[in-house]
Amino acid sequence: MISFQQILFIVVASAAAYFFLGRIMKIRKNILLGRDENRSDHPLKRWKSMLLVAFGQKKMFKKPIPAFLHLLVYIGFIVINIEVIEFFLDGVTGKHRTIAGLLQKWDLTGIYTATLNVFEFLAIGVILSCVFFLIRRNVFKIKRFHNPEMTRWPKLDANLILIFEIILMLAILTMNASDQILQERNVAGYPNTGLMIFSEIFAAPFYRPFDSSILVIIERIAWWFHIVGIFAFAIYVTYSKHLHTLLAFPNTYYANLEPAGKITNMPEVTQEVNMMLGITNPENDGQPPAEIKRLGAKDVRDLSWKNLLDAYTCTECGRCTAECPANQTGQKLSPRKIMMDTRDRIEELGDLILKNDEDFDDGKSLLGDYISKEEIFACTSCNACVEACPVTIDPLSIILQMRRFMTMEESSAPSEWNAMFSNIETSFSPWKFPPSDRFNWAEELKNE
């Protein structure tokens, strides 16, 4: 007969799946609010980029110590969660350590013991790394963790996730230590797992004085805490910067493969110029281009889906801002803030669209309500932020599209820029002089 524990597990797991998948679908819908952009070329290059940057964490290794600890947390979390398979089997069947019981029958307990010890070793590594990250973030005065955009929720989120990971790892050690003591005491329902070294050393001494009936309760609480914690963690991640643990893979796959710093032409402008020069564009069969809704970007719907995927993937690490020359010289611009603002605005607009309709306009926009003109015009287009980003996010792309909007739709570029634009238009040079006068300075030298 199905037990209360099995029913409870199935209800909790189903509710978690419902909320998690609902949130993933919403994020997907929000990303698809962006305009279309083709990123399906060169699949082999894309797979290579994803394997190196997302799986291999290639760009993290510019700073070896934090990179190693980050890798430990990343591997630890993935590998330890293999244990969730057994949690599921136990939850559904109502048994305890289903896989250990099976392996015991086939005389393969050694494999189970070795695997659990690897999990425990990684759990200790995750705890130590998270403690290091907490100290680094809160005690050391590293500037990129204390920029103005890193207050309130972003700061709390970064700390919460580290604390959460420590607690989840402690729950594993607690569960294993009490389980191990119950095995030693031959309590029914606790199959032999072999020696779990780390929980024996670090946790068992705390639990050994307890009576077996209390240890069973401790073991059950730790089991439930761990599995419910994992479900809660999965849902929480979709609201947090830690969404990068999932999105880093598609984001690196769809990364820009063009040479670094190459600024793309605007197809709308290219078509117009071609028309003026009488060049037939094969894409529209020589017909006038379709009406252009907007030049550049004012709000998130003007950006591409890849820009929006970038925003959801941002880990808020601040490496881009630390490298940004505009930020270093005291300007308001922070590429990390550009990505955080973009994500906040998609979330806001996505919610409003859900409650109203696809074309809903709340009268607000990313440019103006979230990001100021001052920030956008402070950018030197140096590409340092893109180069620094460990998950190949491109804040410069968003900045350039907004700058194009302000320049081409609002004519609000700084007056010095406008003078330069008209010089380029009339003299094909940023200065007032025509190209034929370019070498006049050398003539003057000759006459000396």
* Residue ranges binding ligand SF4 (CB under 6 A): 314-320, 323-326, 333, 335-336, 339, 379-385, 388-389, 391, 393, 395-396, 399
For residues 270 and 76, the answer to whether their CB atoms sit within 8 Å is: no
Q: How far is CA 311 from CA 16, 95, 160, 246, 300, in A?
A: 25, 43, 21, 13, 10
* Nearest CB to ligand SF4, comparing residues 76 and 395: 395
Q: Compute φ and ψ for 47, nearest 5 degrees.
A: -60, -40
* Nearest CB to ligand SF4, comparing residues 96 and 242: 242
* Nearest CB to ligand SF4, comparing residues 182 and 237: 237
Which amino acid, 192? Answer: N
Least Å distance between CB 22 and ligand SF4?
25
Q: How far is CA 48 from CA 44, 78, 256, 258, in A?
A: 6, 21, 13, 15
As beta bridge partners, residue 35 has 304
Q: Which phi-psi region, left, alpha or beta, contains residue 97 (left: φ > 0; alpha: ψ -120 to 50)?
A: left
* Nearest CB to ligand SF4, comparing residues 242 and 336: 336
Least Å distance between CB 391 and ligand SF4?
5
Least Å distance between CB 378 and ligand SF4?
7
What is the C-alpha to C-alpha distance for residues 370 and 221, in angstroms, rounded to an integer? Answer: 45
The two most distant CA atoms of the chain are separated, in Å, by 106
* Nearest CB to ligand SF4, comparing residues 200 and 347: 347
What is the C-alpha to C-alpha distance for residues 251 and 311, in angstroms, rounded to an integer? Answer: 10
* Nearest CB to ligand SF4, comparing residues 145 and 198: 145
Least Å distance between CB 324 and ligand SF4?
3
Least Å distance between CB 215 and ligand SF4?
44
Burial of 157 (0-12, 13-18, 19+ CB in 10 A): middle
* Nearest CB to ligand SF4, comparing residues 89 and 246: 246
Least Å distance between CB 166 and ligand SF4?
23
Least Å distance between CB 74 and ligand SF4?
14
What is the C-alpha to C-alpha distance for residues 164 and 160, in angstroms, rounded to an integer? Answer: 6
What is the C-alpha to C-alpha distance for residues 229 and 182, in angstroms, rounded to an integer? Answer: 24
* Nearest CB to ligand SF4, comparing residues 16 and 398: 398
Q: Which two tokens stand for residue 311?
A: 């925003």
> Residue 410 gets which letter from DSSP?
S
* Nearest CB to ligand SF4, comparing residues 97 and 306: 306
* Nearest CB to ligand SF4, comparing residues 90 and 323: 323
What is the C-alpha to C-alpha distance for residues 319 and 337, in angstroms, rounded to an integer? Answer: 12
For residues 41 and 255, the answer to whether their CB atoms sit within 8 Å is: no
For residues 228 and 91, the answer to whether their CB atoms sit within 8 Å is: no
What is the C-alpha to C-alpha distance for residues 386 and 395, in angstroms, rounded to an integer? Answer: 7
Contacts of 366 (CB under 8 A, 6+ apart): 297, 298, 299, 300, 303, 341, 342, 345, 402
What is the C-alpha to C-alpha distance for residues 196 and 209, in angstroms, rounded to an integer? Answer: 18
